[in-house]
Amino acid sequence: MATVKPKPAAKTERSTWLLTAPALVLLTVAATGPLFIMLIYSFLEPGQYGNVVWKFSTKAWFNVILQRDIFDGTLTWADAHLTILWRSVKLAMTTTVFAVLVGFPTAWFIATRTPRMRLFMLFLITIPFWTNLLIRTFAINQIIRNEGVLNSFLLWIGVIDAPIQIIYSDFAVFLGMTYVYLPLMVLPLYAAIDRFDMRLLEAAYDLYANRWQALRRVVLPIVKPGLIAGSILVFIPALGAYVTPRILGGGRNMMIGNFIDLQFGQGRNWPLGAALSVILLIFVTSMLILYVRFVNRSTDNG
């Protein structure tokens, strides 16, 4: 009986999988291994001096939102945890909204310039990526601190009599994160606006639409994928930011990233830190899934 030789296409596909298998295994282990360790740690008990005790417990997940009184055992809300979680979400959302308000006009202005001017402006937008995040955050610190550039200038021109307390506040964290993540909003918006057919805008004006109607009914629906992509790129790193809140917010204005670091450091409660990390991962993953489904639905409808 004659043997059937594999088809060339099937053979090529099998060879491709074999060649990429080592890289896929390495990426899978490197990406999911630490996350799997965090998931395991979140169901263990904390050690006395850090680390974990290998005994199954759901106390860490319980302590994320609730706490038990050490005297009478009554349950109360973990106000400190919930406040930090709410501050993180609030500042991330505020940063994203402000980045949209500033980034959209900036991206539109760049996209409507001459090709040579576009390249130069995009070059200016990408310059901050050449510098380390820590250096950029310290630069903002030098501007807004009590003896910084801003307060010194306002005192010099006589607008204020005493320095304005900006540093170590939620506003300072918001300002720093907006500066750091604004390019992540401008670039996707520019890519979407650059593909926009300006004849559609002219047609809207010919049909007696004002500028607001043209923006809302013509421009925004077409550039919506870039707007959503930019919002995701800003919101996710802003939600888990560590360096900017640590430098500009100090210890009083902690965000979820700093709180997780505290649990693995001075708090010596690794399971709680692991549970918070997993919750943050679940939240971010859910946002990405919603984004992918929205984009796919928009593509299918289009």
Domain residue extents for the chain: 79-301
Residue 1 has pLDDT above 50, yes or no: no
In the predicted structure, residue 165 carries a pLDDT above the cut 70: yes
* Confidence bin at 123 (pLDDT 50/70/90): very high
Residue 32, burial from CB neighbour count under 10 angstroms (0-12, 13-18, 19+): exposed
Please report where in the chains the tokens 């601190």 appear, as a residue.
Answer: 145
User: Residue 299's pLDDT is what?
Assistant: 57
CATH class entry, domain 79-301: mainly alpha
291 pLDDT higher than 90: no
Residue 7 in this model has a pLDDT that exceeds 70: no
Residues 262, 240: Cα–Cα separation, whole Å? 14
User: Of the candidates 90, 92, 65, 88, which has an alpha carbon nearest to the alpha carbon of residue 76?
Assistant: 65
Phi-psi region of 17 (alpha: psi -120 to 50; beta: other; left: phi over 0): alpha
Q: Which pLDDT band, with edges at 50, 70 and 90, does 288 fall under?
A: confident
Q: Quick one: what percent of the chain has pLDDT higher than 70?
A: 94
User: Average pLDDT over the chain, rounded to whole?
Assistant: 87
- pLDDT reading at 3 higher than 60: no
Residue 129 predicted with pLDDT over 90: no
Strand runs labelled E in the chain:
45-46, 52-53, 66-68, 75-77
Taking residues 274-295, what's their average pLDDT? Answer: 85
> What pLDDT, on a 0 to 100 scale, did the predictor assign at position 5?
53
Average pLDDT over residues 230-246: 92
pTM reported for the whole predicted model: 0.85
